[in-house]
Every structure is written in C-alpha cells, then in structure tokens.
Structure 1
Amino acid sequence: MPILKISSLFRASIILICYYIITFRLLEDLTLINRILSSQKIQTSYNDEKFLTYLPHSGFNNQLISLKNAIILSYVTNRTLIMPSVIIDKEITHSGFDKLYSKLERSIIMKKARLSSCSHRTNETTNIKDFCHKSNNHHEKFSMMYWDDLLDFTTLKKRIRIINRGHEFNHESLKKSFESIFYIKENSRYGYQYFDMDNMKRSLGRQYNKKFFISKFKSRPEKLIHFGSLHGSRRVNLDDKKNKEFLNEVKESLRFNHPELNLCIERIINELGGLKNYIGVHIRTGERKFGDEMFRIQANNTIKTILDQVNHYFLNERFNNTKCQHPIVFLATDAKNPKRTFRTFYSKFSPCIFSLTDFKHHLDIFNNIKTYDNYKLKKFFMPLVDLLVASSGGYFVGTDKSTFSKMAKEIHDFQIA
C-alpha cells in the first residue's frame, strides 16, 4: 500500500478516535441539571413533583418568547420548569423535534472538538470531513449562558419552581434521569396552539395546525413533559382570569438584570436626555439576514409610516429638552450604516437623531465579558442595548411584524404604565 494512503488512513482513524473520545467525554461531563435530576429521580418517587422542558432555537428574541410560553405552561400545569440555556450568536434554526435535538447536540460536540483539537491545525486541514476544516468554523460561534445571568426571576420563583438544565442538550442523559417522559413532537413550525380552558370559543390561529387543551397535560402521569419548539407570540392562549394575571406578572417582572448591561443602558439614556425624554424608533431593514425579504421589500413603506408617527408625536407632545428644537430620536436598527440608509430621517432631525453607532465608547464595558467556554459576549449584548434604550423613550415606534419591535413595545408599555 502506498505511503500516502497509509498516512491518510492513519489520519482519518485518529480523527475518528478523537471524535468518539470527545463524544464520550461529553456524555460523562454531566452538567448540574443532570446531577440534580439524578438525585431528584430518587426523591420524586416519594412525592408528586413533575417537570416540563422544551428546546430553544432561532435568535434571542424568539428564544425569549419560547421561555415566556414555557413559564406560563409550567404555571398552568403546576410543573417545575427545566430551563434550557440561552443560545449565543450561532442561530439554530427551527426543525422538527428529533432534528432540532440533533442540531443542538452536534453543535456542542463540534464546539468542544474544535476547542480541544483544532487550534494548531485549523488552517492546515484539507479534508472537508475533518471537524477542524474551515467549513466548520461556524461551530466556534456556538455558546450558551444561563437565563438568570440576564433576567431577574426573583418574583417568578415565588410562584413556580425553576431549575437550569445547564450548558448541554444531551437527550440520552435526560432520559436516564426520568423513568417516564411524555413528548410533544411537532414537525411544522406552528403545530399546536395551546388553550387553558376546554370550553374556549376562540378559533384556532391561522398559522397553527391543531388545538391542544392544557388540561390534558394536568392529568399526564409522566414525570416530564418534553416540548420541542414553543416559539410563537400566540402559541399559548389564556382566558382564565388567574392565568391572565400571572401572564401580566411575567411580562412585568422578567426584567434584564445583568449589571454591565444595565450600566451601559443607563449611561446612553442619560446622554439622550434621560428616561422617557426622547422617542425610541426601531426600523428593521432585513439587510443583514438571509430570509428577511419581507422587511427588505417593505422597507420604504416602513420608513414612511414610522416617519409619519414620529411627526405626530412631535406635533402633539412636549419633551423636556433644551439642546434641540424638537425631541431627540434614538434609532435602533439592523442597518449597517444608518446615516446613509435613513437619509430622510437624518436630514429632518439632525443633529438630534442618534443610533448605537454614536455610543460605541459605552460598549467597551462588554470587552472582557465572556461565557463559560471563553466566548466573547460584546456582539451578543449590542442588540440588547439597542432594544432596551429604544424601549426606554417617552414613546416607541416600531416595525410591523418584527419580534424586536414587539418586545420593545411590551417593555416600553410596562415602563410607562
């Protein structure tokens, strides 16, 4: 056999061995939730505690919507929420239950593999099947952090029990922790729509395929109910007064509490003239993301509509501002160069219109913040700053059908209530 073939075969064997070693270590390296659940498996056999969990996907705003839906379902079903970590930067797109689990597990395996084995030879490998090949660079963007490092759960934890799943999505480990699991597996993006009253007259949302009454979960004997996706702002429908009150409590109490994030926002708001003393605007152009054709097509109409609304506020409201002849505008956007993209805005309101690019000096506070696996978080925090500054104005005007705008409007409304 030629030396070249022996060398290639030997290298392939080494790569395969490394992959299985890393996989095996991942299975062994159980996170806190697995250890907790292992002990709980014994303990819960003597009590009635039951659990609920789900699989996250897509961008941060969509993950937050899923989390809120899971919190509501945990409350209504009286189950402990096993809360997945936040996925950072690398977007895991929606898939059916099994495929989504596979994506999440593979991302973790590939990230660990590249960190442990590829730093010295990423640029050398030519074999595309090698996990160190440059085609797999995107796996290095995958990281996670706990939700309670970002949000304040103090109030909600008085109403429901919440435990962190940890920085893993190992299905086999989870199955070993429970003697019985009831799965809700959907293949479409909007499969089930959940209702809290069996006699609810409300019709099924046009996006969804089937009604599911939450009362059916209450009688399930399994220790764990495992959902796939819970994304969808209309996924859970509440008519019961007590449940609706809890939903408002979730919206009001689940505030961002990351110290550097809050300090950065406070500094920018002060430069804008103070809380509620400016108009927050969000324009989504879709120019940075594949699949956002709807926003790109409607961009001009969106800009005109928002401009009309901002003008309305100018004419009908007074702002406490001595530096400008009209209210200050803070523009949150996905546009790379807002001053060029929104010339109409800037020509009309300059020099009193600002975007995040005008406050780069405040973003340095995130330079040294990293995740557990040493991934830098500055890029992750920037859109959160955009969101929270825009929602802290006296008025907020957003883009139709944008989850960012919906979230900003919700935060804004509770702040001024």
Structure 2
Amino acid sequence: MIPFRTSAHAANSSPSVALEKGAYRMRAPYPRPPTKLLFSRSPVRNRRVDTLSTSQNLAMLVLLLALACLSCFGMAYYLFSTRWDARALSQQPSANQPHRQVVNIDFREQNSILPDPHERFLAYLPHSGFHNQRIALENALVLARLLNRTLLVPPVWLGNKPLRYLNFNALSQALALSDKDGLFHCSQIPSHIPSPMECTGYFDYTHISWDWLVDLSETKKVQHLRQRWNMTDAWITEHLRISEVDIWMIKDTSPYHYRILDTVTDTSPLSHKFLETLYLPDLATSTKRLIHFGTLFGSSRLRLKNSTNVAIRASIRQSMTFSNVILIDASYSIAKSMGHLYIGGHLRLGDGDFQRNGRDNARMLWWKLMHNVLHYTQEETADIERVVLNLSKTWDPPPLPIDETQNFTRPRLWKSQTQRLACRGTLHTRRDLRPLNIPLFISTDVDRPEHNPLLLRFYRTFPCVFHLSDFPKAMASLRELQNANDGVMLNDFLLPFLDAMVVAHAWMVVGTEKSTFSRFVEDVLWRMYHGMEIIQRG
C-alpha cells in the first residue's frame, strides 16, 4: 500500500492533520488584502458621516416614541370617555322597569349674553340645607332690589350632606369644587359595574334651578336676575368682564358676622348676635361693579324699618312658595284623600339639635295640637297625656309659645266629618274625645315613623294618623323624575317639599320650635294656601 503523504503547508493549515501529529493547533486564515472602495474617502470624513447618521437615527427614534406616546394617551382618553357607552344597551327600560321622566332643571340661556359694561351686580355664597339657602336668596333678592343691582343667582343644592357654613374664603373654594363638570359619566355607569373612585358621593347631591321649584316671574318683572351655575372667580372675569379691582368683597369670618340695616337711625337692641353692622345707604354709594357677600342666611340678618322695603320683602317671600306642577298635583291628591279637613304637625327629629331634643320637641308639638288647635284646656290636656302614656301622675305642661293664629276662625271639626281612609286605631266614642278622631298628618324627617317611640303619644291619642308613606300612588310621579343635567334621580330630594306642602294644606298646622323649615310651613306656605297674609320675621 502506498503511504498517503501531505505537504507541510497542508498539515499546518488542517486541524485534523495536526491532531494526528499529537498536537492541537488552529491557525487563523491568512489575511486577505482589503477591498478597494469605488470612491476613496478619508478616515476623518467617514467618522463624521457615521456620527451624522447616528444622530438622525436617534432623532427619528425619539420622534417615533413621542408619536407612540401621544397615540397611547389619545387612545386611553378615548376609551375613558366612551367606556360607558354600553349603557345604551344595559339601561334601556324593560317591560317591568318604570319609565324615567327626565326633567330640565337648568335655565342658563341668558349666560351666553355679555352684560352691559356699566351693569352692576350683587353676589353671595349659599350653604347649608334648603331653607337656609331659601332665606339667603330672599335676603339677596331684597338687597339687589334696594341697591338696583343684578343678582347672580346660584342653583339650589339638594342633598343629604349639604355644605355647612365656612368662612368666606373656604366656602368660596368649596363651592367652586362642588361643580360636577367632568363627572357626568358617573350617572352612565351600568349597575353591574363598580363605580370608579371619582364617582364617590356623586349621587348624594344635585343642583336644580330655583325657577324649576318656585315662581320668580313676578320678581323678574321688577329686577334683573342672572343665573350663576359656576361659582369660580374665573367665571366672573370671563362672563361678566369684571376685574378683581372692581369687586367689593365683604368677607365674613363667622356665620353671624354682618347684619344689614336699611336706615342709619335704626336704634336696634344692642343684644343682637352679629359682630358688625352695614347700612344700606353706605352700600348704595359703592361704585364697584360687583358687591360680593359671603353668607346671607338668617331671618334677622336684614333688618328693615322702611315700610316700602318691608313690602318688597313680603312680595319676595311670597314668591318662595313651591310652584312646581308635579309637586302641586301630588300634594293636592293626598290632601283630597284625607278629605281636606285634617290637622297637621311638622315634626323635625332627624338630625342635630332636633335629634338631641327629640323628646321635648315631640311633646311640645303634641301639646300645641291639643291645646292651641283643638282647644282642650291645660288640665284636660295633662290628664289625656297621663292616660295615653300610662303615667302615675300628671306632668307639668311645657312652656307653650303664643299662638300667632288666634285671628283665624276655625270650623267645628267634629261636625259632618267624612272619613275617606282607613284609620290605624279605633275611633273615640266619648263625646269629649270625638275631636281627636280628626285625621292628623305628621310630616317628619325620621324613617319608619310608625316604629319611632317618640311618636307613640300621637298614635295613642289620634286614631287617624297618616304619613307621606301612606300615599304611594300619589308619590309615583316623583319616583320617575331624573335630573337631565347630572342624571341623578330627584325623588328623595323632593319628598320633604311634598311633605311640607301636604301638611300646609291642613286646616291647622303646628311646627317644631327653632326650625326654619317649620317656620316656612307656618309663616308662608300654610298662610298662602289659606289666603292669609304671611308673617315676616327679621
């Protein structure tokens, strides 16, 4: 066999051959000469070109990343703003769901009109419950009328947790933040989807226009009003063209900081609760385009002595009676069901001092019904109280207030009384107790009043006690009302108004001491419904 031979060059270049020789060596291939470029360039120029190309690529990459970020944010915003569009399918009323009546409570038409540059305005900051807001509006309307200024009218805040009083700066900021702009999607979330954090408390309150609730048409004939739904300072600058230097801010630091008198010669008692006094003649000399008050609530805040001014306030206060057709129809239906000849009690027990003093308030109202309305003597009333409550001895009567309706001629209750509803208890047969068979409508702010022990004395005395909950058919129209502005259902917020209207239709009505709501029922609603002149306080 002829041996196989390799050349030295092949052995050096082949790893397999080298292994056969007992050594492992690998050699790099021989370098090749560099390929010549078609166009020769200097090394420095090449480096400049590479740097420029890299910068262009980085710039392009940054631009693409920026566009991608903007696209992502845009898509996220679109998804956020349209995320509840499925409500059209999930919220359509079915056959067994009540139809919702969406009502327009927003009257902002004139806000798009720029005011005359010489027009002067008056503004204030509303707070607290409805009737404190009502009193503040009455005072503001009177001040604007007497100062010949256009009143900026804020909406009514209706809710379970109203804004409490704060000093001027804090209240102004709180009102500015209470607007629901940017949150209207909260009312569109289907019930099977959890509400996002920003919607917490969204349904606890709503805003409605005063024009939807009361009739201000006569007031508008003699003075200018302008709706103010935005409580920010920016709104004043943008919509009224008023700069900060042209505003007189009357800033309060306590709820009873300022009172206003219409005559400088008024010698009012020095024991009043206000810290400072302002006079209408001084306010009238102001050349500022806007006088901005803080709180204006309080019946005694505006002290009027001039007879013309007193008459103006009377006409304004009369316009505060509820004029909403839905509420009027429902209240009349309930009153008709009780035969119209019934007595009423407006009993506040639900919160604050009224809850703490509930036992005394309930007893006082019961005594006023027995003694002031039905004319039982104090001895007879005390004896009936002893029997009703199973007392071992009679209690001393409470300090009854002076009856301010003595001049009202009362009919004989026990004559030809027609019962149209079934009573809770058994009718009295004793002649001296027959007046107690008259229907009694109790308007109250406690849940399930028939189970409240403070009302037990009423059920044991009057066999025919009724509450608003006894008339579900008449209240059906309220359950369908929905605010077109924010989508909030209005039923729970309107029930106290309906309750007050029904009790004000009563033959006689008594209220809770120190309650502005009860005062409104007794002084305004009840008297207007019975063709009497209202009582003015302050």
For 2:348, the equivalent position in structure 1 comes to 284
Q: Which structure 2 segments of 5+ residues have no match?
A: 1-68, 82-107, 377-409, 420-426, 428-433, 533-538
Aligned match of 1:359 in 437, 461, 471?
471
**Per-residue deviation, 1:79:** 1.1
Alignment of 1:222-237 (within 5 A): 222-237=288-303
CA separation in 2, counterparts of 1:173 and 1:396? Answer: 44
CA separation in 2, counterparts of 1:207 and 1:122? Answer: 52
**In structure 1, what residue type is equivalent to 2:227?**
N
Does residue 162 of the first structure (1) align with residue 233 of the second (2)?
Answer: no
Equivalent pair of 1:107/1:142 in contact (CA under 8 Å)? no
CA separation in 2, counterparts of 1:63 and 1:382? Answer: 17
**In structure 2, what residue type is equivalent to 1:144?**
H
**Per-residue deviation, 1:33:** 5.5
Distance 1:75-1:35 versus aligned 2 partners, 3 A rule? same
Does residue 172 of the first structure (1) align with residue 249 of the second (2)?
Answer: no
**Per-residue deviation, 1:384:** 0.2
Larger helix fraction of residues: 1
Does residue 44 of the first structure (1) align with residue 44 of the second (2)?
Answer: no
For 1:129, the equivalent position in structure 2 comes to none
Equivalent pair of 1:51/1:225 in contact (CA under 8 Å)? yes
Q: Deviations over 1:311-342 (max 9, x none)?
A: 12224752262227432111011121211221
Aligned match of 1:270 in 336, 341, 352?
336
Distance 1:259-1:120 versus aligned 2 partners, 3 A rule? closer
Aligned match of 1:297 in 344, 356, 380?
356
For 2:169, the equivalent position in structure 1 comes to 98
Give the stretch that moved more between structures: 137-146 or 399-408: 137-146
**Per-residue deviation, 1:124:** 6.9
**In structure 2, what residue type is equivalent to 1:168?**
N
**In structure 2, what residue type is equivalent to 1:415?**
Y
Does residue 83 of the first structure (1) align with residue 153 of the second (2)?
Answer: yes
Aligned match of 2:287 in 211, 221, 242?
221
Q: Deviations over 1:276-332 (max 9, x none)?
A: x2211011113xx3xx0x222322222222212211222475226222743211101
Distance 1:334-1:117 versus aligned 2 partners, 3 A rule? closer
CA separation in 2, counterparts of 1:122 and 1:206? Answer: 55
Please identify the structure whose Cα radius of gyration is greater. 2
For 2:139, the equivalent position in structure 1 comes to 69
Alignment of 1:320-335 (within 5 A): 321-323=417-419, 325=434, 326-335=437-446
**Per-residue deviation, 1:204:** 5.0
**Per-residue deviation, 1:408:** 0.6
**Per-residue deviation, 1:122:** 11
CA separation in 1, counterparts of 2:311 and 2:197? Answer: 52
**Per-residue deviation, 1:390:** 1.2
**Per-residue deviation, 1:255:** 2.5
Distance 1:360-1:124 versus aligned 2 partners, 3 A rule? closer
Does residue 238 of the first structure (1) align with residue 304 of the second (2)?
Answer: yes
CA separation in 2, counterparts of 1:334 and 1:120? Answer: 31
Q: Taking structure 2 as the reference length, what is the TM-score of the superposition? A: 0.64
Helix, strand or coil for the counterpart of 1:396? Answer: strand
**Per-residue deviation, 1:367:** 2.2
Distance 1:281-1:122 versus aligned 2 partners, 3 A rule? same
**Per-residue deviation, 1:398:** 0.8
**In structure 2, what residue type is equivalent to 1:307?**
W
For 1:3, the equivalent position in structure 2 comes to none
CA RMSD between the two structures: 2.8
Q: Taking structure 1 as the reference length, what is the TM-score of the superposition? A: 0.81
Equivalent pair of 1:280/1:329 in contact (CA under 8 Å)? yes
CA separation in 1, counterparts of 2:346 and 2:323? Answer: 23
Aligned match of 2:112 in 11, 35, 41?
35
**Per-residue deviation, 1:164:** 1.6
Helix, strand or coil for the counterpart of 2:200? Answer: helix
Alignment of 1:103-252 (within 5 A): 103-109=174-180, 112-113=182-183, 115=185, 119=189, 132-133=196-197, 137-165=200-228, 167-176=229-238, 177=240, 178-179=242-243, 180-204=246-270, 206-252=272-318
**Per-residue deviation, 1:34:** 4.5
Helix, strand or coil for the counterpart of 1:112? Answer: coil
Helix, strand or coil for the counterpart of 2:254? Answer: coil
Aligned match of 2:374 in 303, 314, 321?
314
Equivalent pair of 2:186/2:202 in contact (CA under 8 Å)? no
Does residue 399 of the first structure (1) align with residue 399 of the second (2)?
Answer: no
CA separation in 2, counterparts of 1:154 and 1:117? Answer: 32
CA separation in 1, counterparts of 2:271 and 2:295? Answer: 17
Helix, strand or coil for the counterpart of 2:178? Answer: helix
Equivalent pair of 1:122/1:133 in contact (CA under 8 Å)? no
CA separation in 1, counterparts of 2:111 and 2:526? Answer: 38
For 2:529, the equivalent position in structure 1 comes to 415
Equivalent pair of 2:156/2:208 in contact (CA under 8 Å)? yes
Equivalent pair of 2:120/2:290 in contact (CA under 8 Å)? yes
Equivalent pair of 1:58/1:92 in contact (CA under 8 Å)? yes
For 1:261, the equivalent position in structure 2 comes to 327
Q: Deviations over 1:231-252 (max 9, x none)?
A: 1111111000100111111222
Equivalent pair of 2:155/2:210 in contact (CA under 8 Å)? yes
Give the stretch that moved more between structures: 328-337 or 172-181: 172-181
Aligned match of 1:384 in 493, 497, 504?
497
Equivalent pair of 2:168/2:253 in contact (CA under 8 Å)? yes
Helix, strand or coil for the counterpart of 2:443? Answer: strand
Equivalent pair of 1:74/1:81 in contact (CA under 8 Å)? yes
Helix, strand or coil for the counterpart of 1:361? Answer: coil
Helix, strand or coil for the counterpart of 2:179? Answer: helix
The share of aligned pairs that are identical, in percent, is: 26
**Per-residue deviation, 1:83:** 0.8
**In structure 2, what residue type is equivalent to 1:82?**
L
The alignment of Structure 1 onto Structure 2 pairs a total of residues equal to 371
**Per-residue deviation, 1:218:** 0.6
**In structure 1, what residue type is equivalent to 2:330?**
C
Distance 1:121-1:257 versus aligned 2 partners, 3 A rule? closer
CA separation in 2, counterparts of 1:117 and 1:360? Answer: 26
**In structure 1, what residue type is equivalent to 2:212?**
D
Helix, strand or coil for the counterpart of 2:345? Answer: strand
Give the stretch that moved more between structures: 222-231 or 316-325: 316-325
Helix, strand or coil for the counterpart of 1:155? Answer: helix
For 1:27, the equivalent position in structure 2 comes to none
